[in-house]
A = this chain, B = another copy of it.
């Protein structure tokens, strides 16, 4: 009997989320089929996070146990050959039998990608959220800093979610990065008589939040709230009041899933608390 820990990347576009569901294409479902085939026994895969439909992962983690014959060092290569192009095992290791991807996780990092000041791009439509009006990053950074710490995040949980024992969570860092984009279409030129056909590609803004846990839709609601700040419709100084209100209606809207990436799962408190951005 062996216990295996996987690191998994997936493009969430064509998946109905992580969690296995009858008659739906899910990441857990596709991986379970392939791993069961490779191992020659039905495996039960436990993921660290149940990402929603359309949400991507750079570093999802999952464990499964099995008394399989295939050598551990061959498992990844063989499974990747059978997996479809939108999901890939990027790491695989044998771990102690009592290790569990969800129960041993002490925190996660999510990144939300926003394309700013550029027009919608046909090649990026599933991989970032587009905001054409320029965002005030300094104000957003002041707002993001208000989330850091231990707070009751009741205002940042989707209404109608399964009630939680507690809505208190700790955010360790909330980093907002920005890079100028080179247009994918930058070679495309047009006749001189034509209106400008290659708009500036704009900027890619990445909001990365690291915490011990997240309520349902919490990252997407915090992002929506920071967008209100970036658009000048909310002052960053109002965020502590919104947190204190525990009132979902005072926070921003839930931004779409396709900008969201499960970036990293932490199994070590030191990594979680002290990682450098």
Contact = CB atoms under 8 A, between A and B. Distances in A.
Interface of A: 5, 7, 9-11, 56, 58-59, 85-88, 90-93, 109, 111, 120-123, 125-127, 184-185, 187-191, 193-199, 208, 263-264, 267-268, 271, 275
A120 B59 contact: no
A48 to B, nearest CB: 12
Given A85-B120, A85-B125, A120-B85, A188 B90 contact: yes
Contacts of A123: 11, 56, 127
Contacts of A267: 191
A115 to B, nearest CB: 13
B120 A188 contact: no
Contact of A7 (B88, B122, B190, B208): B190
A88 B122 CA distance: 7
A268 B120 CA distance: 29
Which applies to chain A's interface (DSSP): helix, strand, loop or mixed?
Answer: loop
A197 B85 contact: no
Contact of A58 (B58, B87, B185): B185
A34 B275 CA distance: 50
B193 A93 contact: yes
A185 B93 contact: no
